[in-house]
Amino acid sequence: MGILGRLLKRGETKSTKEADESSTECAHTRLHPHWDDLQEMGDDGKASSYRCGACGAAFSGDEGQRLIAEESKRVAEIERL
């Protein structure tokens, strides 16, 4: 493969990656709770932070609980239909 082919191939890889990133919008439905205080570990209402298992985004405890509440509400609405 010549240098031009290598450049073209690299260009393809880059554009494919960019397309994937822009088309993937994470709804953060796989949040993993994290506790700073070990005594509160296991109590979802007291999690100090959350991390999304899908995209790796980090959230504060309040944000994470709000996202989880929204998601469970959305699931409940779907199940009712």
**Which residues are at the interface with Zn ion (CB under 5 A)?**
26, 28, 52, 54-55, 57
Q: Identify which of 70, 41, 64 has the alpha carbon closest to the alpha carbon of residue 51.
A: 64
List alpha helices for 33-81, DSSP H.
61-80
Q: Which is nearer to Zn ion, 29 or 44 (CB)?
A: 29
Minimum distance from CB of 55 to Zn ion (Å)?
A: 3
E strand residue ranges, the chain:
31-34, 49-52, 58-60
Minimum distance from CB of 56 to Zn ion (Å)?
A: 7
Minimum distance from CB of 2 to Zn ion (Å)?
A: 41
